[in-house]
Amino acid sequence: MKENRAGLVIGLIVALLGATVTGAQEAGDPAVIILDVEEDGGVEGPDTPVGPVRWGAPLIGGVPEIRGKTIEEVFTENSPLFPPLEGLPEEIWKGQTCTNCHEWTRERICEQATNYLNPDFADNLAKEHPLGGTFKANLKLWAEDGCR
Ligand code: HEC
Q: Residue with the nearest Cα to atom 11 of ligand 1?
A: 84
Neighbours of 53 (CB within 10 A): 26
pLDDT of 13 strictly over 90:
no
Categorize the per-residue pLDDT at 25 as very low, low, confident or very high, splitting at 50, 70 and 90: very low
Categorize the per-residue pLDDT at 20 as very low, low, confident or very high, splitting at 50, 70 and 90: very low
Please tell me the predicted confidence (pLDDT) of residue 8. Answer: 56
Question: Using a 6 Å CB cutoff, which residues line ligand 1?
Answer: 4-5, 8, 13, 74-75, 78-80, 84-85, 92-93, 96, 98, 100-102, 112, 124, 127, 129-131, 136
Using CB atoms within 10 Å of the CB of residue 120, give its burial: 0 to 12 exposed, 13 to 18 middle, 19+ buried.
exposed
Q: Is the separation of the CB atoms in 23 and 34 below 8 Å?
A: no
Q: Is the pTM of this model over 0.75?
A: yes
Give the span between the Cα atoms of 72 and 75, in whole angstroms: 5
Give the span between the Cα atoms of 73 and 66, in whole angstroms: 9
Peptide bond into 89 cis (omega under 30): no
Please tell me the predicted confidence (pLDDT) of residue 33. Answer: 36
